[in-house]
Chains A and B, each alone.
Chain A
């Protein structure tokens, strides 16, 4: 039966080729615009560690100013970072399966064989669990042990791009380079890793590049150098030395824990809360108790990774699609009613109303499939054009522009939209034609 309907549909297209083209045009650009905005939205709202995101939590405590919240627009949200002393204490807990405390510093690399000038790079100073917690892939070697954090040992892990630039991509594990004029031994080189958004550190830019080098957390004290990442201080204290900075209430440490089940999560919460109680009695933490363990998906929402612009684009795209659907429906209605004599004859020959309805729906479906196919091609073009707009920083590999390409999700959206368009544009005209009093067309004109 479907074969027959398809042939009828093709005949119908042949009868009115211009109208068919207009319908195809309308459907394909409606779908294309929606697919472009949906792809963008999907890319910025994706969860790059979805397979374990429910086990990973950011540790936050509200240690801010008693007179005003950290974020006046969302007063119930604690600040995203911890102070050094709080992070140090919480790192001592044995409850989490893994725990990470980290921040960023500027580092200058010298002493590598293929270097002509010193290379200033962003370095992540982190505890050893970072690589296993966030499933960071290694090309050569591995991370360091937890003992290396304590001493700290002069070990360094490089990103793949950095290893390519410094050593031409060879296995550089065991080599020594100078980081900020200190000898560091390379223990690992990461494979390509570019999670977008940069979920593990949204405090700088949500779509920034991962750092080029990683060194053990113990260097925080040993170097006596200030971080290059966000430092938020509310207390009006004069800090005249690095030691005072370390014991102050300035927030600059980002802490994550891995808690495999609810029981562990409750234990961790209790641990943090009892630390808070003890410190509060000693005079710290003037605000109401608000210690939150925030998992990755909630964290992405709280840190507002998806902007209002992204949402607005999707909504306007759907309004545009509605316009296209209505145009299509109007043209289909006119087309079907014009060809009522043919349907009238078919009814006279025994076709039921349902069959007429289905036949016309098949015709609409074919149009929508073709339209969706052209729509995908057009959206590929649209996404490519959009990525050109984003390509203003030639040194910034990846980032927002890497997200903007056609992927399986886009195809999925196109298929779903094709179904939606078929039903929305086709149901009323098909219903009209099958309920029309078609016998009238059998009479001689």
Chain B
């Protein structure tokens, strides 16, 4: 059996433009498709990363008072008593901001007094002794707050005194004290007051400010009643009970105290809002990849069909000279394989170039080569599949075509 690559090659070289265009198209499809798929993968990973809290079963109740002489303490006591008494509610804490809301507070702490040592930004939540259960996070070391430790609210803006104890996340602990145990250690606030770390929790994403990249899990819980910077109740329910409880709570609390107005939002709402653009990117890029696949395969199919129909004479001649059907079939399969190889070589170079460019302009990580290898394989298979039907069509050309003059 004679595979005879030379005759196939010489046909291609004699009129290279057409096949070259197919190869270039495959190269672009590989470069764009693989990079787009990798970006989708990054976004999926970003959205899927664990938040560290029980975000599927939580909602916040914002409470805004508007009358002079509103009794904060009584109102909070009444609300908490009601909420904590509802069946189906696991835990309730006050908070100054909802998780993922891109709203909240940041302060600075230092590991040495007098602002010595690196300044560390901390995204903090003012919560009470039920904070850990309400968030649904896990204590890795230390303890939760005690009821007596919860300070009354700050009434003047930028009072700047922080709290004497905090609970921090694991990653914040490592950032502050990379070489020693953070539990029991002291950090200093802006006014040089010492702040003791009494507990360390599993990592959780806070208000998701991202003023600086990578710091979304640098979260601290401060034992203080919120007021000035925002006031809400963070409610955690049993699984599946959230929506029903939201309705019940809204109905009761909007009527229970007419000196304030309330609004409820699920934590999932904030999470979706936060990841909205990532989800849009995913959908868009997957659509582009699907369309690329469609265009490439339809293009190869159409072109090959066309080639076959315009080369019936040559096929007929070859058959008349003794080629079997199998040889004709293989001819076209090998032809597309050669074109694909050229396309793959250009495509790999283009894909890596594109990845460098995206990385330089948008700070994306460089392409994972697994994606490139998968893309190359996919392109090969696509080429072979697209040319299959035309190749079969070619085998039906009878040898008698060679002797016709029309």
Contacts and interface: CB of A to CB of B under 8 A. Distances in A.
Interface residues of A, number: 67
Contacts of B263: 120
Nearest to B305: A18
Contact of A118 (B36, B212, B261, B291): B261
A117 B310 contact: no
Interface in B330-365: 354, 358, 361-363
Interface stretch (B2-10, B71-79, B179-187, B271-279): B271-279
Given A26-B295, A118-B261, A335-B306, A107 B66 contact: yes
B391 interface: no
- Please report whether the interface of chain A is mostly helix, strand, loop or mixed according to DSSP: helix
Contact of B261 (A117, A236, A307, A319): A117
A239 B302 contact: no
9 contacts: A29-B295, A110-B66, A231-B157, A238-B191, A239-B158, A307-B277, A329-B21, A333-B21, A386-B284
Contacts of A18: 302, 305
B148 interface: no
Given A18-B302, A120-B64, A330-B25, 12 more contacts: A22-B299, A26-B295, A120-B261, A181-B67, A226-B157, A237-B160, A319-B32, A320-B32, A326-B21, A326-B28, A330-B299, A331-B306
Interface in A30-88: 30, 33, 37, 72
A240 B159 contact: yes
B299 A26 contact: yes
A331 B292 contact: no
B17 A242 contact: no
B113 to A, nearest CB: 13
Interface string A205-246: 000000000000000000000100001010011111110110
Interface in A107-140: 107-108, 110, 117-120
B156 A25 contact: no
B394 interface: no
Contacts of A390: 276, 280
A181 B25 contact: no
Interface string B52-75: 000000000010111110000000
A323 interface: yes
Given A250-B157, A320-B291, A308 B362 contact: yes
A333 B18 contact: yes
Interface string B103-122: 00000000000000000000
A389 B280 contact: yes
A107 B261 CA distance: 10
Contacts of A119: 261
B66 A108 contact: yes
B313 to A, nearest CB: 9
Contacts of B225: none
B228 interface: yes
A262 interface: no
A237 B303 CA distance: 74
B246 to A, nearest CB: 14
A202 interface: no
A245 B362 CA distance: 40
Contacts of B406: 445
Given A308-B362, A334-B18, A239 B156 contact: yes
Interface string A367-411: 000000000000000100010011011000000000000000000
Interface string B265-303: 000010011001101110111011001101110110011
B178 to A, nearest CB: 21
A355 interface: no
A231 B276 CA distance: 26
A358 B245 CA distance: 71
B403 interface: no
A242 B156 contact: yes
B265 to A, nearest CB: 10
Nearest to A323: B28
Interface in A285-334: 307-309, 311-313, 316-317, 319-320, 322-324, 326-327, 329-331, 333-334
B123 to A, nearest CB: 15
A180 interface: yes
Given A245-B158, A392-B276, A327 B295 contact: yes
B22 interface: yes
Interface in B2-48: 17-18, 21-22, 24-25, 28-29, 31-32, 35-36, 39
Contact of B254 (A117, A181, A231, A309): A117
Contacts of A231: 157-158
Contacts of B354: 319
Nearest to B230: A228
Interface in B165-223: 190-191, 212
A106 interface: yes
B368 interface: no
B28 A106 contact: no
Contact of B281 (A238, A248, A309): A309
Contact of B280 (A106, A180, A226, A386): A386
B161 interface: yes
A161 interface: no
Interface string B69-98: 000000000000000000000000000000
B159 A324 contact: no
Contact of B362 (A233, A236, A244, A312): A312
